[in-house]
Every structure is written in structure tokens, then in C-alpha cells.
Amino acid sequence: MADALTVFTPVEREVDELQAYLDALSPSVFERLEMLHLARVQIFHSLVHQGPRQRQTDTLRVPQLVFTSTYDGSLDDYLDALRIRVPEADEWWGRCPGYPGRDDAAAFGSYVKGHAIRTSLWASAIPGATVADVRESLALRERIVSFAVDAQGLDAAALHERFRAEF
């Protein structure tokens, strides 16, 4: 079952350098996390006014680094995998006050959890499916497409024989 994590941390120094780093960051860094559905790291410099029904405008005193993700499994297992497999976390949270780094698992987990907010609205593209389920389905799709391409022009008997052999 998927869950979500949203973390807000103030960025008090090197904001422009951090923005440049995030702009250049490859999304593939998150492929190292087999339980991850999606993740995003960005800087909020200001908040958008939501219209006349919003009683007051929320103003940020300092930019906020926002890390959002949807993952399978327990939060502790996810944070451990993030800490171990994504050294880039030191680059984005390293400019935030009090960040302890990734070396101490307990301190890292406490820092992230201490800056997490309750995520009350999030989406999963395929509710009820784990990342492993999605990857397995995509692999099967690739096998079927390859089979269809390779089997073009076969007569019914040969197609049936090849299908049974393949699947």
C-alpha cells in the first residue's frame, strides 16, 4: 500500500546555488529506490494566493525546500533506503539548518520526520499496485509487444505454437 511523505525545510543559505543544483539534478537519482512511485524536490520562494476565499496571504520569510514522494512500505524503511541510496540528499538538505547528514541513520530519520507535514492529499497513478507490480506489468507489456512484432505474418498454427512457447 502506498503512502506519501511531504517535507518542508527552510533554505537559509546558497538558495541560488541550490536552485541550480536542483535544475540540473537528473530524475534518475530516484530510480535507486525500488519502493518509490514518484518524488520531487523543489524550492518554494512564495505561495500562490488561492483567491477571495483565502482569508490571508501566506508569506514565506525564507524559501522552503519541499521534498514530496509517494512510496510503498514503511516510512522507516523508505527513509533508510533514501539515506543509503541517494547521496544527493546531502546536497539539497545540506543547505538547510540543522541537517545532520546521512551518516547517522537515527539523526537523518529524526530530521526528515521532524520537518514532515501530514500529507492529506496525494495521488497514486495505479491505486493498490506496488512499484513492483507496476514494473512487472510493464515488463509483461514489453514481452507482449515484442511478441506481436516478431509474430507478424505467422499463420494461425505457428502463431498459436509460438504464443504457447512464449507465455
Q: Is the pLDDT of residue 140 over 90?
A: no
Q: Which residue has the cell 541513520?
A: 105
Number of domains in the chain: 2
Q: What is the value of pTM for the model shown? A: 0.77
Q: Residues 33-57: what's their mean pLDDT?
A: 86
Read off the pLDDT band of 102 (50, 70, 90): very high
The verdict on 55 and 89 lying in the same domain is: yes
pLDDT more than 90, % of the chain: 51
The verdict on 150 and 82 lying in the same domain is: no
> Can you give the pLDDT at residue 100?
97
The verdict on 77 and 135 lying in the same domain is: no
In a domain, residue 124? The reply is no
Scored b (16 or more CB within 10 A) or e, 16-37 reads eebbebbeeeeeeebeebebbb
Read off the pLDDT band of 49 (50, 70, 90): confident
Rounded CA gap, 41 and 27, in Å?
10
Residue 151: domain span = 131-166
> Can you give the pLDDT at residue 83?
97
> Can you give the pLDDT at residue 81?
97
Phi, psi for 29 (deg, rounded to 5): -60, -30
